[in-house]
Amino acid sequence: MFSYLPSRSLSRLSCALVGTAFAAMFATSLQARELSVSTVLSDAFPWGQAAQKWADLVEERSDGELTLRVYPNSQLVNGDQTREFSAMRSGLIDLAVGSTINWSPQVPELNLFSLPFLMPDEAAVDAVTGGEAGDMVFEAIEARGVVPLAWGENGFRQLSNSSGEIDEPADLEGLKIRVVGSPLFQDTFSALGANPTQMSWADAKPALTTGAVDGQENPLSVFDVARIDQVGQNHVTLWNYMNDPLIFAANQQVWASLSDDEKALLKETAVEAGAWEVAMTREQEAGRLADIQERGVTVTELSDEQYQAFVDATANVYDKWIPRIGEELVEAARNAIEAQ
């Protein structure tokens, strides 16, 4: 037999149940907050490992109260890596470990790192990112609605091709080279006499396989892990023509919603994950090169004179791009490199 409760009692009971459910949901939300992290490459590559390292450190030090969920392969922007910065700025992405190349369409100052042959070695990269120029770059990013937290490194980009040894600009004459979606890359390879062909990485490997393009440029880590030698790329030229630092960053609104402790935790772990990834990437370079050579790839190292020939051939690129990047920023970078 059903017991009867007055409507006023039912109302009170309903309110109590709703209040209890809301309190439970609120407590759960306080206990754990998940933020998305976008990255272009999976954890098979150092880039993806940097994002996962960040996530692991945050979960460990927050006791699970703050978690980062990594979305590799540009999943959050449907594979279009050049949209990552815009998506983060608009709030579709909470956090990212992104490339200076991919973010340069929205932050022109990031083209600093793509200027050909500006930074000859790792010491030069560190001098730029760790000095006044690096601070200026971070200010430019923050001015566009994204909070930069730390540096990582995708590494120096080397040149590979299926045609033969390349040790002077004339060897590039007419070769179709796959490049990322940046006008600066188009200008650099055009200055060298090549035929730069812009395409996504998803399209690049099939194009290399069929011979639709003759070559590509990427860090050795990408060449090694992606086994680019298996698609006919049997010649690699080590020329360190540009370095692609990675940047750990947060959406501005997401950052503002965090407590001071959460902000400190995210920044501290980003700096630590970045430093870890930079060291790992550099330590693995010699081993990767040896593995690539063992697989039958011919590796060409340039003499000082050969290197200078490429520098001279791309000098006019600076005339066009320094005004876009900012003369003060480029000068700060050059001063840092010269002072090291």
pLDDT digits (tens, 9 = 90+) for 268-321: 999 999 999 999 999 999 999 999 999 999 999 999 999 999 999 999 999 999
pLDDT, tens digit, for every residue of 162-190? 999 999 999 999 999 999 888 999 999 99
Residues 68 and 35: beta-carbon distance below 8 Å: yes
Q: How far is CA 114 from CA 28, 108, 189, 294, in A?
A: 45, 11, 12, 30
Q: Note whether residue 315 is domain-resident.
A: yes
pLDDT, tens digit, for every residue of 47-105? 999 999 999 999 999 999 999 999 999 999 988 888 999 999 999 999 999 999 999 99
The burial of 16, by beta-carbon neighbours within 10 Å (0-12 exposed, 13-18 middle, 19 or more buried), is given as exposed
Q: How many domains does the chain have?
A: 1
CA distance from start to end of the chain: 88
The predicted pLDDT at position 4 comes to 40
Angle between helices 315-325 and 327-339 (to 10 degrees): 120
pLDDT, tens digit, for every residue of 137-159? 999 999 999 999 999 999 999 99
Q: How far apart are CA 216 and CA 141, in angstroms?
A: 28
257 lies in which domain range?
33-339
Q: Note whether residue 219 is domain-resident.
A: yes
Q: For residue 17, name the pLDDT band (cuts at 50, 70, 90).
A: very low
Q: Note whether residue 14 is domain-resident.
A: no
pLDDT over 80 at 29, yes or no: no
The predicted pLDDT at position 31 comes to 59
pLDDT over 50 at 13, yes or no: no
pLDDT over 70 at 27, yes or no: no
pLDDT over 90 at 12, yes or no: no
Q: Note whether residue 95 is domain-resident.
A: yes
Q: Note whether residue 10 is domain-resident.
A: no
CATH number at residue 260: 3.40.190.170
Q: Which of 77, 114, 111 is nearest to 93 (CA)?
A: 77
Q: Note whether residue 23 is domain-resident.
A: no
Q: Note whether residue 21 is domain-resident.
A: no
Q: For residue 40, name the pLDDT band (cuts at 50, 70, 90).
A: very high
Note the pTM of the prediction, 2 decimals: 0.88
Q: Note whether residue 18 is domain-resident.
A: no
Q: For residue 201, name the pLDDT band (cuts at 50, 70, 90).
A: confident
pLDDT, tens digit, for every residue of 238-273? 999 999 999 999 999 999 999 999 999 999 999 999
pLDDT, tens digit, for every residue of 106-132? 999 999 999 999 999 999 999 999 999
pLDDT over 70 at 1, yes or no: no
% of the chain residues with pLDDT over 90: 86
Q: Where are the alpha helices (DSSP H) in 201-259?
A: 201-210, 220-225, 252-257
What value does the mean pLDDT take over residues 201-215? 92
The predicted pLDDT at position 117 comes to 98
The predicted pLDDT at position 143 comes to 97
pLDDT over 90 at 22, yes or no: no
